[in-house]
Amino acid sequence: MIFLGRLPCLLGDHCGAARDSRMAAVASRIAGVKGLADAGIAMVPGEYRRDSDPRQCVEIEEIPVIDLSDVEKCSPARILAIDSIRSASRDWGFFQIVGHGFPEELMASMMELVHDFFRLPIEDRSVYYSEDSSSKFRMGTSFIPSKETRRMWQDFLHQACYPPCEIAQLPTKPPSYVKISTAYAEAMNRLSKRVLGLFSESLGLESGALEEAFGGERHTMRMNYYPPCPEPELTIGLDAHADPNGFTILQQDTRVKDGLQILHCGAWVPIKPLPGAFVVNIGDQLQILSNDVYKSVEHRVVVNSERTRVSIASFYGPAEDSHIAPMAQLVTDDAPACFKESAYGKYLQSFYASKLDGKAAIKTVRY
Ligand SMILES: O=C(O)CCC(=O)C(=O)O
Ligand SMILES: [Fe+2]
């Protein structure tokens, strides 16, 4: 195993051929890196490079912000929220929610926890490193480094929430890891179920219809860690992709202005973090179940040279052994089924076995 620890300015003060061979040497060492955090890389190595500056985007309107404050108490508020979810899902595939009732202190402590984890010495972190996408808890870097020719400027933690991983699989450092992450997962699971009911009603279905179609649940978290990058114009934090699950509830880092962008009407649009809000986006399974009424949307993440950005993505979806097809209520003579039935577990396996590539996964199940 190679632990990079710190590589102080290995690349910074070289030029020409000497620099190129230095680059190659560092690039090959990076092949063994178990994480970018603290690697001290001073120039973006070849395998992290992209052809054009991904930070270019257009700042048009903001995605809709939907208030969930009174949705369980008052029927006009519920009708308004459901209407807003319907139009936001159709027009954008992305929206932000406020008044969601998720404790703000827990949002803040979870954010700190992820920063604290990646501040641990690499020896403490690397015991969790794995490239096995079926592990219930793991630390990773990029997407699947051993298969990638193009890497992404990020490290991450993946944690299974429901079904959960064993407590013994979770980190003992920082000492509050288990307590905070399990409290976050529980509160997020409750919120996800409420949002699932609202999605159902927004499609004109009974509140429990999507839950029934999910046939159980698979809820996981990906805690993305994007360290500052010396040349952010040359690389990307996360390549364009659509999420393969039902829907995602994302907590952004309110200390960092730029990061997430979504593809809207052919242009990349930045999603500015809103304090206290979560970003919600449609995933492939909701696109399939809704028979194309809602669509998963490509999104990507850019990095910056000043600050580490953390995001916490909670992926909610069907049970892995469920078979997913367009809901019978949404298939008509005018709107025949657009997708073949597929086993969700298999769908996920093929998603994780390939590189992040826009909406490639859903095309494989389209008629
Ligand atoms: O970091 C972000 O804002 C988005 C992360 C994301 O898209 C993902 O983890 O699937
Ligand atoms: Fe995503």
How is domain 33-363 classified at the CATH fold level? Jelly Rolls (2.60.120)
| Other residues' Cβ atoms within 10 Å of the Cβ of residue 208 | 13
Of ligand 1's listed atoms, the one at least distance from the Cα of 252 is 3
Of ligand 1's listed atoms, the one at least distance from the Cα of 222 is 9
% of the chain with per-residue pLDDT over 90: 75
DSSP output for 215-256: TS-EEEEEEEEE---S-GGG--SEEEE--SSSEEEEE--TT-
61-101: pLDDT as tens digits:
889 999 999 999 889 999 999 999 999 999 999 999 999 99
The pTM for the full model equals 0.91
Cα separation, 66 vs 302, whole angstroms = 25
**CB contact set of 15 (below 8 Å; sequence gap of 6+):** none
For ligand 1, mutation pick of 114, 143, 155, 222 (most atoms within 8 Å of CB): 222
Q: Is 125 in the pocket of ligand 1 (CB under 6 A)?
A: no
309-362: pLDDT as tens digits:
999 999 999 999 999 999 999 999 999 999 999 999 999 998 988 888 899 999
Q: Is 224 in the pocket of ligand 1 (CB under 6 A)?
A: yes
Does residue 244 have a cis bond before it (omega within 30 degrees)? Answer: no
111-152: pLDDT as tens digits:
999 999 999 998 899 899 999 989 999 999 988 777 777 899
User: Minimum-distance ligand to the CA of 261?
Assistant: 1
Q: Which residues pair with 323 in a beta bridge?
A: 343
Q: Is 301 in the pocket of ligand 1 (CB under 6 A)?
A: yes
**Of all helices (H) and strands (E), which one includes residue 159?**
strand 155-162
Atom 3 of ligand 1, nearest CA residue: 260
pLDDT of 3 higher than 50: no
Report residue 153: phi and psi, to 5°: -85, 75
Residue pair 224/56 in contact by the 8 Å Cβ criterion: no
pLDDT of 19 higher than 90: no
Cα separation, 44 vs 234, whole angstroms = 7
Centre of ligand 1 to C-alpha 313, Å, is 6
Residue type, 67: D
**CB contact set of 240 (below 8 Å; sequence gap of 6+):** 263, 298, 299, 300, 356, 357, 358
